Amino acid sequence: GEDVEQSLFLSVREGDSSVINCTYTDSSSTYLYWYKQEPGAGLQLLTYIFSNMDMKQDQRLTVLLNKKDKHLSLRIADTQTGDSAIYFCAEIETGGFKTIFGAGTRLFVKA
């Protein structure tokens, strides 16, 4: 069945770049999403990419999509302590009714 996999933890120093990786299985997904969950809060959409794009840039965020390898990544430039959170990769299942989330990558930013 469909699945989304992410590494569970990432630790970086303030000012460095963070790269969070994700692999997915449903190659017909139309959109792929990155959500952010701050402590004690619900998830919030951070950015998304349409499946016919290779890259999307939004200020400090860069999303790269490799459809051949079914690999998605989120790069955060100049990572700040406020970026400490859990980041979820998500895809919409074929047919569009079910969103599948990865387990989430917990990003720790050291000052």
From candidates 13, 71, 98, 110, binder to another protein by CB under 8 A: 98
Q: Pick from 12, 43, 53, 64: which binds another protein (CB under 8 A)? A: 43
CB of 88 to another protein, least distance (A): 6
Least separation in angstroms between CB 46 and another protein: 11
Q: How far apart are CA 101 and CA 111, in angstroms?
A: 29
CB distance 89 to 101 below 8 Å: yes
42 binds another protein (CB under 8 A): yes
Per CB under 8 A, 33 contacts another protein:
yes
Only one of the segments 17-25, 66-74, 75-83, 93-101 lies at the binding site for another protein (rule: CB under 8 A); that segment is: 93-101
Among 16, 103, 108, 110, binds another protein (CB under 8 A): 103
Rounded CA gap, 31 and 60, in Å? 20
| Distance from C-alpha of 109 to C-alpha of 82, rounded to nearest angstrom | 8
Which residue, chain included where needed, has tokens 């299942």? Answer: 93
Residue 5: CB atoms within 10 A of its CB come to: 13
